[in-house]
């Protein structure tokens, strides 16, 4: 009885171990930036972490893991942003349900509830306004704006959104203009008007 079967198993096991090592390396290298991206839109640590974990679960076993690192990173950003958008949509649906039931609490109670310093409350309110303005943008503009101001290069944004690099500037310019309009409109409006009970 030869030991060929053992060697065959060992080769397979080595390849599997390499894939695992690569996965872990990608996780360590990309987790922080994905978390940061998702958090910027969701504003909730637990939800952002959950979204990033879902993103890596989708990567697990995907052939894309064998592609060059920039492609893997772009794939991850794309999946993470989509998962975040889905989460936001789910949140809006839940909010609408509560709204209809007349049980919606004022969102700013969240900030008040902590009883933190006034500046914290104001900051939380501003963050909420920014997120609401971002949420009102078309999906690609929102992603472009977010990626750019989170520090990604034009090439990275193009790879994430599957665009030509030359198209990123236009998308960014339009996104920033739309953001300005949405943000200033909200700031000019009566604070908390969106949260008023029906």
Please say whether the beta carbons of 85 and 40 come within 8 A. Answer: no
Name the residue among 152, 182, 183, 157 with its Cα closest to residue 171. Answer: 157
Residue with Cβ nearer other proteins (33 or 74)? 33
**DSSP string of 25-63?**
HHHHHHHHHHHHHHHHHH--HHHHHHHHHHHHHHHTT-G
Considering only CA atoms, give the Rg of the chain. Answer: 21
Tell whether residue 27 is a contact of other proteins (CB under 8 A).
yes
Q: Which of 64, 98, 155, 173 binds other proteins (CB under 8 A)?
A: 173
Residue with Cβ nearer other proteins (8 or 96)? 8
Q: How far is the CB of 78 from other proteins (least distance, A)?
A: 19
Please say whether the beta carbons of 127 and 183 come within 8 A. Answer: no
Instruction: Kindly report the backbone phi and psi dihedral angles of residue 164, in degrees, each rounded to the nearest multiple of 5, phi listed first.
Output: -75, 145
Q: Which of 66, 169, 191, 192 binds other proteins (CB under 8 A)?
A: 169
The CA-CA-CA angle for residues 127, 130, 133, to 5°, reads 150
Handedness of CA 177, 91, 161, 21 (dihedral sign): positive
Q: How far is the CB of 154 from other proteins (least distance, A)?
A: 7
Residue with Cβ nearer other proteins (59 or 74)? 59
What would the x/- binding string for other proteins be over residues 4 to 23, using CB under 8 A? Answer: xxx-xxx-xx--xx--x---
CA of 98: how far to CAs of 95, 107, 109, in Å?
5, 12, 16
Q: Which of 51, 52, 72, 79 binds other proteins (CB under 8 A)?
A: 52
The interface region with other proteins, picked from 73-81, 89-97, 99-107, 125-133 by CB under 8 A, is 125-133
Tell whether residue 43 is a contact of other proteins (CB under 8 A).
yes
User: In the complex, which residues of this chain contact other proteins (CB under 8 A)?
Assistant: 1, 4-6, 8-10, 12-13, 16-17, 20, 24, 27-28, 31-32, 35-36, 39-41, 43, 45, 48-49, 52-53, 56-57, 60-61, 123, 126-127, 130-131, 133-134, 145-146, 149-150, 154, 166-177, 179-180, 183
């Amino acid at each position: 009885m030869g030991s060929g079967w053992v060697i065959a198993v060992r080769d397979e096991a080595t390849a599997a171990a390499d894939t695992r090592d690569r996965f872990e390396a990608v996780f360590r290298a990309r987790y922080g930036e994905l978390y940061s991206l998702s958090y910027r839109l969701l504003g909730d640590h637990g939800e952002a972490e959950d979204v990033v974990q879902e993103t890596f679960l989708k990567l697990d076993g995907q052939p894309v893991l064998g592609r060059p690192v920039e492609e893997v990173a772009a794939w991850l950003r794309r999946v993470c942003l989509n998962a975040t958008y889905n989460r936001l949509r789910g949140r809006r649906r839940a909010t609408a349900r509560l709204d209809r039931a007349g049980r919606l609490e004022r969102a700013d109670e969240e900030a008040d509830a902590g009883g933190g310093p006034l500046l914290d409350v104001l900051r939380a309110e501003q963050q909420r306004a920014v997120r609401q303005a971002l949420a009102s943008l078309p999906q690609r503009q929102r992603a472009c704006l977010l990626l750019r101001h989170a520090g990604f290069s034009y090439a990275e944004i193009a790879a994430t959104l599957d665009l030509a690099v030359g198209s990123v500037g236009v998308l960014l310019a339009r996104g920033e203009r739309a953001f300005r309009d949405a943000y200033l409109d909200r700031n000019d409006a009566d604070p908390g008007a969106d949260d008023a009970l029906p």
